[in-house]
Chain A
Amino acid sequence: MKEINEEWPIFEVFIRSKNGLEHRHAGSLHAADSTMAMENARDVYTRRQEGVSIWVVESKHITASNPTEAGEMFEPAKDKVYRHPTFYELPIELKHI
């Protein structure tokens, strides 16, 4: 017998909407364990045919960047326009780039 755990842990849910596309974060939910998280995700996030594949991961296993460090993390990239590959001249025949 396990100890009573009053709160179920939170899981993050990732859904792939069709084959060939990537999984995208759909939201989060509570579940007792990962098997139940999968079933909850199926019932909560794919009831309107939103997906063909589901990943669930307990939120505590995700390492997230700290919003208070956003300055040093992301701002330095702001004025580095030369990192975008927009300075190449492309031949007209080249499509879908």
Chain B
Amino acid sequence: MSSNLFEYLLILGDNSMILAHRLSELCGHGPSLETDIALTNTSLDLYGQVRNYFQYAAEIAPEQPGASEDSIAFLRRERQYRNCILLEQPNVDFAHVIVRQFLFDAFQNLQLEALLQSSDSQIAAIAEKSLKESRYHLRFSSEWLKRLGDGTETSHQKTQTALDYLYPFVHEFFDETEIEEIAAKEGYGAKLADLKPGFESILKEGIESATLKIPDSKPRFAQGKLGIHTEQMGYILAELQFMQRAYPNLQW
């Protein structure tokens, strides 16, 4: 029981953490001062949520004495990370950043709403706090999606390119693993299939009002939640883990 809960918390936390890391790469490199701060704020919001998940995970991991939020975040091997591979995709350009964010925010809003009903009071409390942040993230990414899609010919084309590339990854959100299946059955996790209609309607509305087209491409084969990642992940972990590997137990 505790072990499935632990793995479920990793799925929740890793999605947010890997996206937060990607956004943190933009610190000082945003397209304008205002967007730079906005994206960094989003990154920090997500890291805050990750801390909640991993602090809780450390608490309920009796088979891992000495586990802490830091050891969970920084000292796992690549195969032990359970994020969807959409979130590890590189920033490429501002259109990719916004589209990736929009696709995640749409899913995450619905997932957090469902988790308000979690039988685990800790998960429900984290969801309640995170949902306010996530709603704002969705508002931010949808507004930007509209402006990029319905902006100039160039911005439209770049955003459609980003959507064509990233859209096939979204199916992994709903590809239920055994961990999520048990979590839903036992009442502390979200039933992913229930979120799909809501997700599709947020996407349809957001993408159509941005004058973009939902690609009719096939789902991309993805097993990030089972620990199988794209080649991007190695680079992310190298940067993410460097400090804790080079200076074990480093604090500041």
Contact = CB atoms under 8 A, between A and B. Distances in A.
Contacts of A44: 33-34, 37-38
A39 B139 contact: yes
A59 to B, nearest CB: 15
Contact of B152 (A2, A35, A42, A43): A2
A1 B152 contact: yes
Interface residues of B, number: 18
Contacts of A73: none
A31 B34 contact: yes
A47 interface: yes
Interface in A8-41: 8, 29-33, 35-36, 39-40
Contacts of A90: none
Interface string A71-85: 000000000000000
Nearest to A8: B32
A4 interface: yes
A1 B37 contact: no
Nearest to A40: B34
A36 B152 contact: no
Given A32-B147, A35-B143, A39-B139, A1 B38 contact: no
B156 interface: yes
A2 B32 CA distance: 20
A47 B34 contact: no
A36 B37 contact: no
Interface of B: 32-35, 37-38, 41, 136, 139-140, 143-144, 147, 151-154, 156
Given A40-B35, A43-B41, A44-B37, 18 more contacts: A1-B153, A2-B152, A3-B152, A4-B152, A4-B154, A29-B33, A29-B34, A30-B32, A33-B147, A35-B143, A36-B144, A36-B147, A39-B38, A39-B139, A40-B34, A44-B38, A47-B37, A47-B41
